[in-house]
Amino acid sequence: MQFVMLCLTWKRAALVGAVLAALSSCASAPVLLNASEEGVVVRYNPDAVTAADAAAAAQASCQRYGRNAVAKETQRTGEVFTTFACVRPPASTTLTH
């Protein structure tokens, strides 16, 4: 009986370990929070993602609205939260003579 309980406990521990490993692999990609036409907050783990990767994710989000991502503020709390504004590109100027 003790052997059966030990095997069940080991299987549970292995299952919990597998779930935690799967969840930690998901945390390696930048996460977009509150994405809108005005801006986006990008959360990322600095051990797995670079600031350039986070900026690229923000740029992709802003591009959906025809805008460019501009970093405004960064907060570090173990993870990094960077706020980007989605700004319209400058109007093209054409010279007429």
Reported as a single tens digit per residue, the pLDDT across 82-97 is: 999 999 998 875 666 6
Q: What is the pLDDT of residues 22-44, one digit of tens each?
A: 445 455 899 999 999 999 999 99
Tell me how many degrees the CA angle 79-72-36 measures, rounded to the nearest 5: 85
Q: What mean pLDDT, rounded, does the chain reach? A: 81
**pTM exceeds 0.75:** no
Phi first, then psi: give them for residue 31, nearest 5 degrees: -110, 130
Cα dist from 30 to 11, 14, 50, whole Å: 32, 28, 9
pLDDT at 92 (0 to 100): 72
